[in-house]
Amino acid sequence: RLKKVLQILNPGLNQLQQNMLKIAPSILAANPLKLQRDCLDAQKYGAYRISVDVMDGHFVPDITFGHNIVAYLNGILNIDIEVHLMVENPSSQLESFLNAGADVLTFHIETSSEVNQLIDYIQSNEKKAGIAINPDTNIESVEKYLEHIDELTVMTVVPGKGGQSLIVDCLEKVRQLNKIKKMNNLEFDIQVDGGVKKDNIKLVYDAGADIAVAGTAIFNTENSIQNNLQTLMDALR
């Protein structure tokens, strides 16, 4: 697809990121009136992809984005879009977000009893399937799916809000998942989501994460997106 070709040619993807921790800005923290410019800046200055936090007011109290925002972002971005479904009934949402152009669909293990069907549906549409686990969910609950999924997201905050502090104890799950990956020669990416900042991103990387979602560390009023991305990348050196 054109998007994939452009990604290969995308000069913006920071060489450092290709080898180290990839950073995925979460638009939950972005100013919706500046979204197009901010996402294009994020792409230009090295974001691996954009993360869209979808909340339904049931699984988590707030309501956020619908599939139409994904369609518009898909129309302007070359980098991937990950849709993080913090919704009570993820199976009812998959088709509309896939049709909107989501490249990765992440659903919560706490919300589904038909996990294999969800994974199969997403992957049969040639997209990546991810499972997210809350801070109080152990990795035993997802171990049997690890050979089938493309990504596992370890929530390092209680889902539902940006701007919270990273729960460091959750990084132990990242270390455990890395051991499981190596022991079983599995290839799923490990994503950390919640509270990632310059003062803890090296901990996240050292624990073995492949991707870090960052909302308020990127989209804030103090500094430019370019500066914020560079600050996180510099903290990884």
Among 13, 21, 29, 42, binds ligand DX5 (CB under 6 A): 29
How far apart CA 162 and CA 159 sit, in angstroms, is 8
Beta bridge partners of 133: 154
Return phi, psi of residue 196, to 5°. Answer: -75, 125
- Is 136 considered catalytic here? no
Q: Are 204 and 171 in contact (CB under 8 A)?
A: yes
Task: Confirm or reject binding of residue 200 to ligand DX5 (CB under 6 A).
Answer: no
Stretch that binds ligand DX5, among 134-142, 168-176, 187-195, 200-208 (CB under 6 A): 187-195
Closest by CA to 104, choosing from 54, 62, 64, 41, is 54
The Cα-based distances of 205 to 46, 189, 196, 202 in angstroms read 17, 12, 11, 5
Amino acid identity of 194?
G
> CA torsion sign, 215 to 219 to 222 to 225?
positive
Stretch that binds ligand DX5, among 141-149, 154-162, 202-210, 226-234 (CB under 6 A): 154-162
Return the residue nearest ligand DX5 (CB atom).
215
Among 74, 125, 164, 231, binds ligand DX5 (CB under 6 A): 164
Task: Confirm or reject binding of residue 159 to ligand DX5 (CB under 6 A).
Answer: yes
How far apart CA 116 and CA 153 sit, in angstroms, is 17
Among 174, 195, 211, 225, binds ligand DX5 (CB under 6 A): 195
Among 41, 80, 103, 193, binds ligand DX5 (CB under 6 A): 193
Stretch that binds ligand DX5, among 9-17, 75-83, 175-183, 215-223 (CB under 6 A): 215-223
Task: Confirm or reject binding of residue 57 to ligand DX5 (CB under 6 A).
Answer: no
- Is 38 considered catalytic here? no
Among 38, 41, 53, 151, binds ligand DX5 (CB under 6 A): 53
Q: What is the 3-state secondary structure (H, E, C) of 113-138?
A: CCHHHHHHHHHHCCCEEEEEECCCCC
- Interface contacts to ligand DX5, rule CB under 6 A: 26, 28-29, 53, 84, 157, 159-164, 193-196, 213-217
Q: Write out the catalytic residue numbers.
A: 53, 193
